[in-house]
Every structure is written in structure tokens, then in C-alpha cells.
Structure 1
Amino acid sequence: MNTTEPASPAGGTTTAGPIVRIIDLHKSFGAVEVLKGVDLEVHRGQVVVLLGRSGSGKSTLLRCINHLERPSSGTVVVEGQVIGHRVKGGKLHELPPSAIARQRTRTGMVFQSYHLFPHMTVLENLIEAPRRVKRVDKATATADARQALEEVGMAHKADVYPSTLSGGQQQRVAIARALVMKPGVMLFDEPTSALDPELVGEVLGVMKRLATTGMTMIVVTHEIGFARGVADQVVFMSEGRLVEQGPPSQVIDAPVHEATRTFIDSIL
């Protein structure tokens, strides 16, 4: 893998700065280049919304941040750690899967689909990863899980099975499952796209509350109202590149680039 080393690494970490730093990121699937040199910084407490048409690279970018997709080149740094690599002798060396799994706990990921274990209760779904990945004892994991369920308004459903929940409730449980790992950054990949319209609001409500707590969030969504009301920065992507970036008042309400204007007009 051809990587771009971040400035001043020390034992695989960097000093104070953005909580997420993406440097010249490229990702190809065979001959198809999906990301074409993406640079992005996200600071602690920011909510960054990624907009763009299907196929523009938004979801791939999220998956590269937590190394669910291995970048073809470039570097991702989360909370000072070069994701997927350690620095030795001034060069980046790929980490084994177990170490990457530990790094991945720095980012909570919420997908379009809920991916809850159907044979486990809501509470059991939440304590599984803390116990297996972080080796948290059962009592602590259970207390943390109940707190996370409280945060998303699902504490009363701790002992039921996912099949008894609505889609919106299952997605709120999925958010709680990510929160229980105590990540530094939450990644949301179109978390409302699989929901019936009447259920979208309850999930967006949870996300808005998280934003008010200072949680750092990177969100792929087409929910313009959420982006306008909650985002600190909106990033418009097209054909694997960051075309436009700025506050919602600029990117949504007064876009500079023609591609951004055309996209915004198509979804408003």
C-alpha cells in the first residue's frame, strides 16, 4: 500500500489537532477509482454532514475512516492514531486485524441497516462488543449499556428481542450499541434511508440530542433539514472529490459550484 505519512508522527500518534484528519485519500475497486485524493479535517465536537449523489464516494469515505475499507493510498488519523498502521522508522506499517479492531473502537458506526443479533435481547446486543473487544466486565458493560439505552430513549426495551421493535426503534438501539463503546467519533451512513417516513423523525431526534452533548459526528444523509439545523460544516462530494465545503448557510443556501447547486435543487 502506498501511504502518505502525516506530519510529525510519534509511535503511531500525532499531537493535538483535528480529531479526524484525512490526507490525500484514494480508494479504488479494481479499475474504478471511488475516492480521488480526499482531504478533510474534523474537529472535536463538530457535526459534519456529507452530501452528494449515490456513487459520489460518501459511504466509502466513512468506511475508510474506520478501516472497514482499506484505502488504496493516503492516510486517516483518528484521535492521533494512524488508522490501520503503526509508525516505525519513519514509515507506516500495516497493523494486524486484532490491533485494527481495537483502533476501530475509536469510531462508532451506524449503518443504513441495523445489524442487530436477532437471537439476543436489546441489552445483550449492547454488551457483546464491550465484553469481547474491550474486555469490559459484565457488570460494567451492563451499566454502560443501560445508560446508552437511556440516552436514545430505549431503556424500557432492554429485555426484548429486536423482532418486536419498529425500524426506528431498532436504529435507535443500533445508535446505543455504537455509543456503549464510548467512541471519540460517531459515523452515520444514511441512518434513516431504510426507515418508513413516519419513523425518520425519532432517529433524527436522537442524533440532534447527541449533537447538543458535543459528540463529534460525521453524517452521510439526504436529510437537508437536519444538515441545515445541526451541521457545523457541510461537505458536498461528487465523483470521489470534495467539491464544496462550508457552513450550511453557504453550501445549502448559497452554493458556489454548479454541481452543488444542481444537487441541492434536485432534493429540495
Structure 2
Amino acid sequence: MNATASAAQATGTVNSDPIVRIIDLHKSFGPVEVLKGVDLEVHRGQVVVILGRSGSGKSTMLRCVNHLERPSRGTVVVDGEVIGYRVKGHKLYELPSSAIAKQRTKTGMVFQAYNLFPHMTVLENLIEAPRRVKGVNRDKAVADAMQALEEVGMALKADAYPGTLSGGQQQRVAIARALVMKPSVMLFDEPTSALDPELVGEVLNVMRRLATSGMTMMVVTHEIGFARSVADEVVFMSEGQLVEKGPPSQVIDAPLHESTRAFIDSIL
């Protein structure tokens, strides 16, 4: 990893206002370069929606934010910490997996698939990570879990098993599971794409409430109505690059770039 320049930038900015800084982010899978030098800042309390065609690098960028994907080059800073690395001088040294797991508690990740443990109740799913990763005692973990379930409207299902829930209910539980870790930023990777159309609304409503509460959010989605009504900033990606960004009134309703216009026209 060519880390010297990125480390210098990162150490100069860890106390700056943005809660997430993505600096010159590159990611390759073998000979295929998926991200080609992405720069992006997300400020505390912002909702940033990321749009783009399949294969544009949206999800890969999001996964680099919490180091589920290791950048080939570039730096990600979340809440003052360079993710995945220790900074010494102007160099980056990769952290052990245990330290990276601790850093990931800053970022709550919600995937397309719910990834709930089927043999555990809803409540047990929620208290697993706080107890194992953060060492929270059971009583505190249960109290926090019930509060998170209340936030997503699933408290009455605490003793249910995931297999008895609808897809929308399972995704709301997955959101609660991320919230219970008290993250600095929530990452949503197409959270409604696997849902039947009639279940999409209940998940988007939970996300709207989180946005209203001031939660910092990065959301990969094709839900243009959600982006228009909730996003502070919309980012359009194409072929691994950030092509256009701005408020929804610009990027969605009056895009400047031809590739953005073509994409918006194709999904409206």
C-alpha cells in the first residue's frame, strides 16, 4: 500500500469537522480497479445517499469505510481514527483483526441480507455483539437492546425467532442490531433491495426517523423518493469514480453530468 501521502493527509485532518473522510480511495480485485481515487467527506448529522449503476463501486466504497474491504490505496478516517491502520509518523501500519473489530463499532452496517442468527431470538441477536465485542454486562445489553427495538418498532418481537418474521421485520431488527452498538455513523448497503415491494416502506420509515433524530448516515440505494426527501447530499458514482455530488435538488432534479442524467432517467 502506497500509504505515506494518505497518512500525512489523515493525520492532518483527524480533528476536523467531517466525521467520515475518504481520501484518494482505490480498490482493485485482481486486475479490475473498482474504485479509482474517491474523495468524500460526511459531516456529523448528515445523510449522504450514494447512487449509481450496479458495478459502479458504491458498495465497495461503503465496505472500505469499516474495513470489510481493505483499500488498495488511500485512507478512511472515521470519528478521528484511521480505519484499519495505526499511524506512526507519516506511515500506516495495519492493525490486528481484534483492533479492527473494535474500530468497526464506530460504524453500524446494514446489508441487503439481514444476516441474523436463526437459532437465536431477536433479543439474543442484539445482545451478542455488545457482550462479546464491548464486554457489556447482560443487564445493560438487554436494556440497550430493548431501547433499540423500540426505536425500530420491534420491541414486541424480542422473544421471536428470525424465521417467524417478515423480511421487513428482519431488516428492522438488523437496523436495531447495528444501533445497539451506538455507532458514530450508520452505513446502509441497499437495505430494501431484497424486500418485497409492500415491505420497503416500513424499513424506509425507520431510516427516515433515524435521519430526523440526527443520525449520521451513508446510504447506498435506488430509492429516489427517499433520497429526495431525506438526503442532505446525493453522490453519483460511475465506473469507480465520484462523478457528481450536491443536494437532491441538483443531482436528482437537475443533474449536471450526462451519465447522472441517464441514470436518473432510467429509474424514474
Q: Which category describes the TM-score, using the shorter chain as reference length?
A: over 0.9
CA distance in structure 1 between the aligned counterparts of 2:42 and 2:10, rounded to whole angstroms = 18
TM-score, reference length from structure 1: 0.98
CA distance in structure 2 between the aligned counterparts of 1:239 and 1:137, rounded to whole angstroms = 46
Check if 1:118 corresponds to 2:100: no
Check if 1:137 corresponds to 2:137: yes
CA distance in structure 1 between the aligned counterparts of 2:89 and 2:76, rounded to whole angstroms = 19
Q: For 1:9, which of 11, 16, 25 is the aligned residue?
A: 11
Letter of the aligned partner of 1:7 in structure 2?
Q
Alpha carbons 2:35, 2:240 under 8 Å: kept: yes
Give secondary structure in 2 for the equivalent of 1:51.
strand
Letter of the aligned partner of 2:176 in structure 1?
A
Check if 1:108 corresponds to 2:105: no
Count of residues in correspondence between the two structures: 266
Give secondary structure in 1 for the equivalent of 2:7.
coil
Structure 2 residues not aligned, in runs of 5+:
none
Alpha carbons 2:10, 2:77 under 8 Å: kept: no
Structure 1 residues not aligned, in runs of 5+:
none
Residues 1-268 of structure 1 aligned to structure 2 (within 5 Å): 1-3=1-3, 4-7=6-9, 9=11, 14-268=14-268
CA distance in structure 2 between the aligned counterparts of 1:25 and 1:7, rounded to whole angstroms = 12
Alpha carbons 1:6, 1:75 under 8 Å: kept: no
Alpha carbons 1:118, 1:163 under 8 Å: kept: yes
Letter of the aligned partner of 1:206 in structure 2?
V
| 1:150-207 Cα distance to aligned partner (Å, 9 max, x none) | 0000000000100000000000000000000000000000000000000000000000
Alpha carbons 1:236, 1:245 under 8 Å: kept: yes
How far off is 1:17 after superposition? 1.8
CA distance in structure 2 between the aligned counterparts of 1:6 and 1:166, rounded to whole angstroms = 48
How far off is 1:243 after superposition? 0.2
How far off is 1:6 after superposition? 4.5
- Alignment identity in percent? 82
CA distance in structure 2 between the aligned counterparts of 1:35 and 1:6, rounded to whole angstroms = 21
Alpha carbons 2:8, 2:90 under 8 Å: kept: no
| 1:21-56 Cα distance to aligned partner (Å, 9 max, x none) | 000000000000000000000000000000000000
Letter of the aligned partner of 1:169 in structure 2?
Q
CA distance in structure 2 between the aligned counterparts of 1:25 and 1:221, rounded to whole angstroms = 21
TM-score, reference length from structure 2: 0.98
| 1:57-89 Cα distance to aligned partner (Å, 9 max, x none) | 000000000000000000000001000011113
Letter of the aligned partner of 2:135 in structure 1?
R
